[in-house]
Structure 1
Amino acid sequence: MRRILMLATGGTIASKESGHGLSPAITSEELLGYVPAVGELCRVEAIQLMNLDSTNIGPSHWLEMAAAIRARYGEYDGFVLTHGTDTMAYTAAALSYLIQDSPKPIVITGSQKSICLHDTDARMNLYNSFLYACDRDSHDVSLVFDGKVILGTRARKERTKSFNAFSSVDYPEAAVIRDGKLIRYLAPTAYAYGAEPVFYSSMEDRVLLLTLIPGMGAEALRQLKNSYQAVILQSFGVGGLPGGSGGAFAQAMEEWLEAGKTIVMMTQVPYEGSDMAVYQVGQQVKEKFQLMEAYNMTLEAAATKLMWVLGQTNRPEQVRELFYRPVQHDVIC
């Protein structure tokens, strides 16, 4: 029987009413007690890594999660992390960069309602996560939710309350779980017997997201230059910059680049990605400046990948090479 380690981090799945709103309070052992059928799938052990609302989870916690898995990687056949849904897609993407080419599955799950409620999705999500983690063809980082298995770099939360909260953006779901049966849509990654993943232990958290709206000025971009190492500019449609290559935004971008900072352009549109070469307002900007383009990466993947890349190097040519190097099908350009 396979050995699976559950790492609990808090979130709605572990929440109780505090009198001032829901707050994580249920322990890892208590979570497992609600789903005794997991014991028929595997030998499971659990640790309480943290107990946070996922709104409060960020890069330092991702590094802690990766370090906890690294320290125990040789002892278990797979890992299940319970997590709040609000930043789950960010965590799934971040762990995909911090733990690369893992022959063992690292599964992230949670729920829209607490596991202690009668009409909850928590018990099924948790059971399905162990079911997937126990399968010998499961590898790498995945998010399991509402019967879907989504690659860690392709997940996005699209609904705030419904049980089908997550979608796989611009890439097929890896598998589905129906009536206790795992049905794979994508062939699993082949790893050599005994292969080890590549772990990373540094991230740069000074990454800014600036979402443009019509009529917005460039003052904020200019004034924030000294506080951040990189900025992701979310523009419109397939990608363009207000004012083109000679406007106020272009001037502010030039200041960022002269200061050795990194700029990534991406679209606000959820699906199908960017292509700055289509319109003059995008093509001229991309030709004039050394910009990177996120294409059809999710925001969660683009942001956490940039944090990971800048945690390894700040040399522009190396930043570009690492950012465009595919990890778990995160970028298709």
Structure 2
Amino acid sequence: MLIYTGGTFGMVYDEDGSLAPFNFSLVIEKIPELQSLDLKLTVISFPDPVDSSNVDIEHWQAMAYIIKDHYEQYDAFVILHGTDTMAYTASALSFMFRGINKPIILTGAQIPIGATRSDARENLITALEIASTKNGKVPMLNEIAVYFNYYLLKGNRSQKIRSSNFAAFESENFPYLAESGVKIVFNESFMNTHDPQQKLEFYPKMDPNVVVLKIFPGITEEVVKSILNIKGLKGVVIESYGSGNIMSWRWMEELLRDAVSRGIFLYNVSQCMGGSVVQGRYETSKMLSDIGVISGHDITTEAALAKLMHLLGTERNVDIIKQKLNVSIRGELTVV
């Protein structure tokens, strides 16, 4: 099943030379090479395709329900998605499902399909080829992934790091799952294995009451206080320096300690694309452990937000939420 949600991919030039969406059910006419893949392809589209900058929890849930409702009918799913929030969606979907035994691949394009130099064709054709690849009688891929510019990335490890380059996505803290060249080479040792005993579990609830607090030189007490006192706030992703450090100012410590005492989950991730949070390596991060800030290890900000939304939406036990934040539940982090 090919699911078109919107984004740059499905644009063509109209008579005035402007970019406009086209009827995506006619995708095979735009990409005749798809016929050579020998696939039985069902193409569906969101009734109102959405720019990925407008993607919200409801859109994640809509994609998830399409997959859940058709899971037994199809061998694989490819989702066409705008690039700006693709990593967020891949992370969110990875937490909404447990026990995936089929390929679910997100892909898109930096240049519309209607443009001469578009990367849309290669991304879609290879994503479909990977989705249909078997390892014996079972799928080669058994998880949610992002395919872009010759590389297959683990979905909840991916990040968009470039806006003006075909190589838009990277996975700094996790190896590529596959590389497309003359042949598609799979990195099987880092891919989820097929488990026929595992049944698909579905967790559509996501709690939006989370926020990102990015630490920067000169951040003021008023700014931090206003964020930590947002009405209804339940979780904060703290984007700290390096391996998990923040300033050791007294007012910062007091505000964070107060937030923890009010039951707000503080989740520490690094601003760096590569590397891991190691709380306690420096004195400035030891304070965070003492307060009760939870280390996100090498998780991405995108995955950290999705994980908080998922756990706050599905779990009621505070201790279980803390425990699951600190470990990998969908392959989203590595505990150092």
Q: Is the Cα contact below 8 Å between 2:12 and 2:112 reproduced in 1?
A: yes
Q: 2:179 aligns with which of 171, 176, 181?
A: 176
* Matching residue of 2:319: 317
Aligned counterparts of 2:34 and 2:202: Cα–Cα separation in 1: 28
- What SS is found at the alignment partner of 2:230? helix
Task: Decide which of 156, 162, 166 is 1:163's aligned counterpart.
Answer: 166
Specify which of 81, 84, 90 is matched with residue 82 of structure 2.
Answer: 84
Counterpart of 1:62 in structure 2 is 60
1:229 aligns with 2:234: yes
Q: In the TM superposition, what is the alpha-carbon distance from 1:81 to its structure 2 partner? A: 0.2
Contact 1:13–1:83 under 8 Å retained in 2:
yes
TM-superposed CA distance for 1:100, in Å, is 2.2
SS of the residue 2:49 aligns to: strand
Partner residue of 1:293?
A: 295
Counterparts of 1:101 and 1:23 in 2: how far apart (Å)?
A: 40
Q: Deviations over 1:131-186 (max 9, x none)?
A: 0110121211010111101001111111101111111121100111113x321123
8 A Cα contact 2:269 2:300, kept in partner = no
Q: Distance in 2 between matches of 1:69 and 1:218?
A: 45
Aligned residues: 325
In the TM superposition, what are the counterparts of 1:265-284 in structure 2 within 5 Å? Answer: 265-284=268-287
Structure 2: segments with no counterpart, 5+ residues: 135-139
Matches of 2:269 and 2:44, distance apart in 1:
38
The equivalent of 1:209 in structure 2 is 212
Contact 1:77 1:104 in 2 (8 A): yes
2:131 equivalent in structure 1: 133
User: Is the CA contact (8 Å cut-off) linking 1:24 and 1:51 kept in structure 2?
Assistant: no
* Structure 1 unaligned regions, length at least 5: none
1:261-301 Cα distance to aligned partner (Å, 9 max, x none): 111112211111211211111112312x1211111111111
Distance 2:22 2:235 in 1: 38
Structure-1-length-normalised TM-score: 0.92
Q: Distance in 2 between matches of 1:58 and 1:145?
A: 22
Q: CA deviation at 1:122?
A: 0.3
**Aligned partner of residue 10 in structure 1, secondary structure:** coil
Q: Distance in 2 between matches of 1:24 and 1:140?
A: 32
Correspondence list, 1:112-123, <5 A: 112-123=110-121
- Find the counterpart in structure 2 of residue 48 from structure 1: 45
8 Å CA contact 2:12, 2:19 repeated in 1: yes
Between the aligned partners of 2:315 and 2:70, the Cα distance in structure 1 is: 28
Instruction: Give the 3-state SS of the residue equivalent to 1:129 in structure 2.
Output: helix
Aligned-pair CA distance for 1:83: 0.3
Structure 1 residue 199 corresponds to structure 2 residue 195: no
- 1 CA distance for matches of 2:184 and 2:263? 48
Letter in 1 for 2:112: S
Please give the root-mean-square deviation of Cα atoms over the aligned residues, in Å. 2.1
Q: Which secondary structure does the structure 1 equivalent of 2:72 belong to?
A: helix
Shift of 1:25: 1.4
Q: Distance in 2 between matches of 1:18 and 1:217?
A: 49
Supply the distance in 2 between the matched residues of 1:22 and 1:272 (Cα, whole angstroms): 42
Aligned with residue 149 of structure 1, among 148, 152, 168: 152
**Identity over the aligned pairs, expressed in percent?**
26
Tell me the alpha carbon deviations over residues 176-198 of structure 1, each in whole angstroms, 9 at most, x when there is no partner. 1113x321123343333364322
Which of 124-133 and 234-243 deviates more? 234-243
**Equivalent residue number for residue 137 of structure 2:** none
Asked if the contact 2:8–2:82 (Cα under 8 Å) also holds between the matched residues in 1, the reply is yes
Q: Secondary structure at the match of 1:322?
A: helix
Distance 1:175 1:189 in 2: 12
Letter in 2 for 1:40: S
Aligned-residue offset at 1:117: 0.8
**Paired residue type of 2:27:** L
Kept in 2: contact 1:264–1:292 (CA 8 A): yes
Once the 2 structures are TM-superposed, how far is the Cα of residue 207 of structure 1 from its aligned partner? 1.0
2:4 maps to 8
Partner Cα separation in structure 2 for residue 18 and residue 251 of structure 1:
58
Which letter maps to 2:243?
V
- The one-letter code of the counterpart of 2:163 is T
After superposition, what is the alpha-carbon deviation per residue over 1:229-277, rounded to whole angstroms, capped at 9, x for unaligned? 1111112121223125xx1111111221222111111221111121121
| Structure-2-length-normalised TM-score | 0.91
Look up the equivalent residue of 1:212 and give its one-letter code.
Answer: I
Report the equivalent of 1:32: 28
Cα 1:223–1:17, aligned 2, differ >3 Å: closer, same or farther? farther
Instruction: Tell me: CA distance 1:24–1:9, structure 2 relative to 1, closer, same or farther (3 Å).
Output: farther
Q: For 2:253, which of 250, 253, 271 is the aligned residue?
A: 250
Task: Give CA deviations for 1:54-110 in whole Å, capped at 9, x if unaligned.
Answer: 000021211111111001111100000000000111111111111222111001000
- Structure 1 pair 82–38 and aligned structure 2 pair: CA distance change class (3 A): same
Q: Distance in 2 between matches of 1:60 and 1:279?
A: 40
Structure 2 CA distance for aligned equivalents of residues 22 and 67 of structure 1: 33
Distance 1:221 1:16 in 2: 44
Q: Does 1:103 align with 2:101?
A: yes
